């Protein structure tokens, strides 16, 4: 990720300071928690996408910094709330906010971050940016609820799977690219073009993440965690579609009743591998990447475009 940030290294440094300032509060507890959270910044893929997209469309402005902050504020709020919903005790190798300060504080912190994002946009009349990000947050919630609804029956079709991951994951990456381009004052057609590119990148990103569940323990994601959580992902959906009714019933029964049994989990993983579920999902992922690169190449040649190509490669080559 370091080399990908080369054209925007100065902007990322400035962004870090601006974002830290945005989190400031007169309430001591809030300052303590947000300082703790800033230590968990990760790879910062979202602000990188915003700045590279702005560069593609003509240049990075103050609105680009606000757009990147808005994305981070609202996304961080959803992560804090997700950890409460999932009763997660860890986030990026650190204890989660709810694990350290409790659910009540975590929910209130998420609300605070959402409000900060709204005010940041309204105070500067960034209505277009706010519209893009608000739509993404709405769709992320819908995607999570759709997945929960379907998990009860374990009957997710390929089309429904695509809709779930589009809403849950791709919509935020779509928003990053759209916000970056919109922050330059580009016309709606160019913003929509960037949004579609982001959606394709996001779809590939999630499929890659789902493939990890069937890999080895070295990839950083616990093996079979999606199966334990009864999540139907593309490799499994495809494998089931190729199986006879009896096998489908057997696999669904294991998912429903034995999702905590390591032996049964490995049996499901073996079934997916033998049915070429991984190969099929990889093929679909690569098609999304091809489509994203085609859109990207319609933008003028620049260092930003080169780095965006590198970022797209990172999406499918990453190890965790």
pLDDT in tens, 170-203: 999 999 999 999 999 999 999 999 999 999 999 9
Mean pLDDT of the chain: 92
In which band, very low, low, confident or very high, does the pLDDT at 217 lie, cut at 50, 70 and 90?
Answer: very low
Least-confidence region, from 145-149, 234-238, 290-294: 145-149
Distance CA 107, CA 98 (A): 8
Range of the structural domain that residue 120 is part of: 3-317
Eight-class DSSP state of 5: G
Is it the case that residue 220 has pLDDT exceeding 50?
no
What per-residue confidence (pLDDT) applies to 154?
83
Secondary structure tally for the chain: helices H, strands E: 16, 2
Distance CA 99, CA 83 (A): 9
Q: How far apart are the first and last CA of the chain?
A: 13
Nearest to 137 by CA among 166, 171, 162: 171
Is it the case that residue 218 has pLDDT exceeding 60?
no
Q: What is the mean pLDDT of residues 67-94?
A: 90
Distance CA 124, CA 122 (A): 5
What per-residue confidence (pLDDT) applies to 319?
78
Q: For the purposes of burial, counting CB atoms within 10 Å of the CB of 232, is it exposed (0-12), middle (13-18) or buried (19 or more)?
A: buried
CATH number at residue 132: 1.10.600.10
In which band, very low, low, confident or very high, does the pLDDT at 86 lie, cut at 50, 70 and 90?
Answer: confident
In which band, very low, low, confident or very high, does the pLDDT at 320 lie, cut at 50, 70 and 90?
Answer: confident
Q: How far is CA 297 from CA 58, 92, 160, 254, in A?
A: 15, 33, 30, 45
Beta bridge partners of 91: 94
In which band, very low, low, confident or very high, does the pLDDT at 94 lie, cut at 50, 70 and 90?
Answer: confident
* Angle value at C-alpha 316, between 159 and 308, nearest 5 degrees: 105
| The two structure tokens encoding residue 256 | 């429903």
pTM score of the predicted model: 0.92
Q: How many domains does the chain have?
A: 1
Distance CA 216, CA 244 (A): 28
């Amino acid at each position: 990720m370091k080399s990908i940030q080369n054209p925007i290294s100065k902007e990322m440094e400035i962004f870090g300071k601006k974002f830290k300032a945005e989190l400031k509060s007169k309430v001591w507890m809030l300052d303590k928690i947000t300082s703790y959270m800033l230590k968990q910044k990760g790879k910062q893929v979202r602000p990188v996408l915003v700045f590279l997209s702005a560069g593609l469309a003509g240049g990075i402005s103050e609105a680009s910094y606000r757009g990147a902050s808005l994305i981070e504020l609202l996304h961080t709020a959803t992560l804090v709330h997700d950890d409460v919903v999932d009763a997660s005790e860890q986030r990026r190798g650190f204890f989660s906010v709810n694990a350290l300060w409790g659910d009540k504080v975590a929910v209130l912190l998420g609300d605070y971050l959402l409000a900060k994002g709204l005010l940041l946009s309204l105070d500067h009349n960034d209505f277009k940016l706010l519209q893009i990000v608000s739509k993404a947050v709405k769709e992320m919630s819908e995607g999570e609820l759709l997945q929960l609804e379907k998990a009860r029956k374990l009957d997710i079709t390929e089309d429904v799977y695509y809709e779930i991951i589009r809403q849950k994951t791709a919509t935020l990456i779509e928003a990053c690219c759209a916000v970056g381009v919109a922050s330059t004052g580009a016309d709606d057609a160019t913003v929509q073009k960037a949004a579609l590119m982001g959606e394709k990148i996001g779809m590939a990103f999630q499929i890659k993440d789902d493939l990890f569940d069937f890999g080895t323990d070295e990839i950083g994601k616990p093996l079979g965690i999606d199966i334990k959580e009864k999540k139907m992902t593309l490799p499994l959906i495809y494998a089931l579609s190729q199986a006879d009714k009896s096998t489908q019933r057997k696999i669904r029964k294991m998912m429903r009743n034995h999702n905590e049994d390591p032996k049964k989990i490995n049996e499901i993983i073996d079934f997916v591998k033998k049915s070429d579920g991984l190969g099929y999902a990889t093929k679909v992922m690569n098609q999304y990447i091809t489509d994203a690169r085609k859109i990207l190449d319609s933008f003028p040649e620049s260092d930003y475009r080169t780095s965006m190509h590198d970022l797209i490669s990172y999406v499918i080559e990453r190890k965790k």
